[in-house]
Amino acid sequence: MDSLGILLILGLAYLASKSTESTSNNSENSVAQINSRLLSQVNPVLAEKAQTVINQMANLGNTLIVAEGYRTNALQDKYYAQGRTTPGNIITYKKGGESKHNVGKAVDFDFIIDGKQSNSNSNNWTLLGKIAKSAGLIWGGDFKNLRDYRHVEI
């Protein structure tokens, strides 16, 4: 997948999420606030499992941020257009309404590395996948057609 395109989307999503945050100089609080707000918009069963993943990863020294949870059909269509009718590589095979994000049953994570949001290949996605699966989630890293290491769903 096109990591630059994803980074751009994530950056925009992150900026959008930051803009609605109350002002806080404590970055750890901000991450917790973002996670809490985005998890409040998804299915409660998923939210609880995702929070378990966040907590267990934190216990192992990894800070996770929820990059995206619920996603509108319109935004899904925009992602679907990428690599087809708009520039960039294909990042999804799902149209609006077809993604688990559209029904609040999927969450994408990023790591916080040195205070910055990161979805670098060097992050410990294998550990994230292992913990996510032990929490009862389906991990996108196991997807056959488009591996999605950041993605978990119920």
Q: Which residue has the tokens 């100089």?
A: 25
Spatial separation of the C-alpha atoms in residues 152 and 107, rounded to whole Å: 5
Which region among 1-9, 16-24, 76-84, 146-154 touches Zn ion (by CB under 5 A)? 146-154
- Selected from 108, 111, 128, 139, the binder of Zn ion by CB under 5 A is 108
Is 71 a binding residue for Zn ion by CB under 5 A? The answer is: no
Work out how close the CB of 106 gets to Zn ion at its nearest, in angstroms, rounded to a whole number.
5
Instruction: State both tokens at 83.
Output: 């690599």
Instruction: Give the contact letters, 124-143, x = binds to Zn ion (CB under 5 A), - = no.
Output: --------------------
Instruction: State both tokens at 76.
Output: 């899904």
- Selected from 54, 111, 151, 154, the binder of Zn ion by CB under 5 A is 151
Is 110 a binding residue for Zn ion by CB under 5 A? The answer is: no
Q: Which residue is nearest to Zn ion (CB)?
A: 151
Supply the DSSP string of 54-117, one letter for each residue.
Answer: HHHHHHTT-EEEEEE-S--HHHHHHHHHBTTTBSS----S--TTTSGGGGT-EEEEEEEETTEE
Work out how close the CB of 23 gets to Zn ion at its nearest, in angstroms, rounded to a whole number.
29
Binding site for Zn ion (CB under 5 A): 106, 108, 151
